[in-house]
Amino acid sequence: MMKAGGQQQHRRKIQAETSLLLLLFLLSCSRISVAFNSSSMRRSQSHRQKLKGIQHDSRFMTPINSQSILESPDQVLAAWTFAFASSHIGLSSTRSNIIRSLGETANSLNLVGNEEWVLPSWWPGDNTGGNKIFPDVLTAGRQVYRVFYTAVSFLTLGSAFGAYFESSSVALDVSGAQQSTLLYNSCILSAALSFGAAIASLVNASPLGLMPSFEADDGTEMSGSVAGIRRDDTLKFAAKGLTRITRHPLILPVVPWGIATTILVGGRPCDAIFFGGLSIYSIAGCYFQDLRVIREEGSVGTVFQTESGGTKEGLGEDEQERTRLRSFFEQTSFIPFKAVFDGRQSFDDIIREAPWLQFFVGTIVGVYLEEKILQLLAEWSV
């Protein structure tokens, strides 16, 4: 028992150190990339003029060095798109260790348990900490982690978006003249249906996603109940509606949306890198989420632990969560409709439980959003 405990403690120490190194690496890469991208944008403004004067000069017939390896706008775009995808997957894969470290840091600063730091009264808190922002160590760690995760997302995705326009050397034609009417309408429909599925998944969340789940209060005095609504993320463990189709109903719709948008904006290399890259990221991100459940490593979703011997208070509750998560995983599929075709789920249950109203409204909104996105891309492109 002592030997096993020591090995487990040593393994967690290594994981924590690895997580810290990963964070330092990502921050260093981001800082270097910001500086390099800024200088690359300044160089690109006079790039054509310089080429006219140096194209016959032998001094410039030298091998590319490390400082100019990302001078191509498409390469800068690819680097930022990869930074966004890899940072998301990396932070998600190591988040249990990061959350634990951040929570302990917050506790050492006497931030945990502060009764004055609460969410607004109209905000439905969860069923553990209520409306307190830092009720315990792990919740504090998750709150700080979300802020950091969001900041990294804005930095990397925003920089990739800026690099996309820097790479767009030809003005966009989003009128559909470059595609046949059938192809154009099919892509608009595909993008709209993707929006519809993603919006509907907000009320039909998966335990592997970050969206919380709510239910009507049954009248009992429970923490976090506001206006007859109470948050209970354990409701997501039951396969229902969209999660009978795929266990990733929020993220996987990015795949058809990215492909459709790539075609609609012209199918240039920069389009494939950015929008196609987001499609690949969504597949990879969902795959690594599944891998954490299979290997029982770290945590997924909002609060659910996948490791045996979790760190939350109440080991029995942790074990119950892991059992229900494994049961959900076994009943559902990564590939859409695979669980239906192999008999684990049925079309009848999907038709009866799917949030059709939200899906139809989301699809209509999706048509507007996709056309608005194309319009804005055309206006902002060079």
pLDDT tens digit sequence for 113-124: 776 777 666 555
**Calpha distance 149→324 (Å, rounded):** 27
Summarised one tens digit per residue, pLDDT across range 150-188 is 999 999 999 999 899 888 765 666 666 667 889 999 999
| pTM score, whole prediction | 0.73
Summarised one tens digit per residue, pLDDT across range 83-121 is 999 998 888 878 888 888 888 988 888 888 776 777 666
Are the C-beta atoms of 246 and 283 separated by less than 8 Å?
A: no
Is residue 264 scored above 80 in pLDDT? yes
For residue 42, count other CB atoms closer than 10 A to its CB: 10
Q: Is the dihedral of CA 293, 298, 303, 305 positive or negative?
A: positive
DSSP 258-307: HHHHHHHTT--HHHIIIIIHHHHHHHHHHHHHHHHHHHT-SEETTTEE-S
CA angle 370/91/299 to nearest 5° reads 100
Structure tokens at 295: 């290997």
What is the mean predicted confidence (pLDDT) over 184-206? 95
The conformational region for residue 211 under phi > 0 = left, psi -120 to 50 = alpha, else beta, is beta
Question: What's the confidence (pLDDT) of residue 99?
Answer: 85
For residue 79, count other CB atoms closer than 10 A to its CB: 21
Q: Which of 42-51, 59-68, 325-334 has the lowest mean pLDDT?
A: 59-68
Which segments of the chain are extended strands (E)?
214-216, 229-231, 299-300, 304-305
- The whole-chain average pLDDT of the chain stands at 76
Summarised one tens digit per residue, pLDDT across range 22-44 is 444 444 444 444 444 443 444 44
Are the C-beta atoms of 259 and 252 separated by less than 8 Å?
A: no
